[in-house]
Amino acid sequence: MVQMMEAWFLADVPALKAYFGPKFQEGKLPKNNSIESISKDDIESSFTASVQDCPKKTYKKGRDSFEILGKIDPQLVAEKSRHAQRFLDHLKQLMEAGSHG
């Protein structure tokens, strides 16, 4: 399981760049393809470093998180998180069951 939802954001760096703008420093993000194994401290420090030159200057969970969550590609997240893939599969099953009832 991911340490925090922001780990999911790391699976879709283009969405982060689109949100924070051209000064977003993606090179400061963890290079780990297994987003489930990235520690909370590493995620928080990398977000702080990657947005420092952006207009917003900081990442704030309440201000930014839900908007970014709505912009990331769930399939990219599922490719880097087996738990996310299981979650998406479960949602699909629920939707299919609901459409038959």
pLDDT at 101: 59
Q: Which residues of the chain have pLDDT under 70?
A: 1-3, 100-101
| Virtual torsion, Cα 15, 24, 40, 33, nearest 10 deg | 60
Domain extent listing, the chain: 6-99
The model's pTM is: 0.82
pLDDT at 2: 56
pLDDT at 63: 87
| Distance in angstroms (rounded) separating the CA atoms of residues 26 and 4 | 19
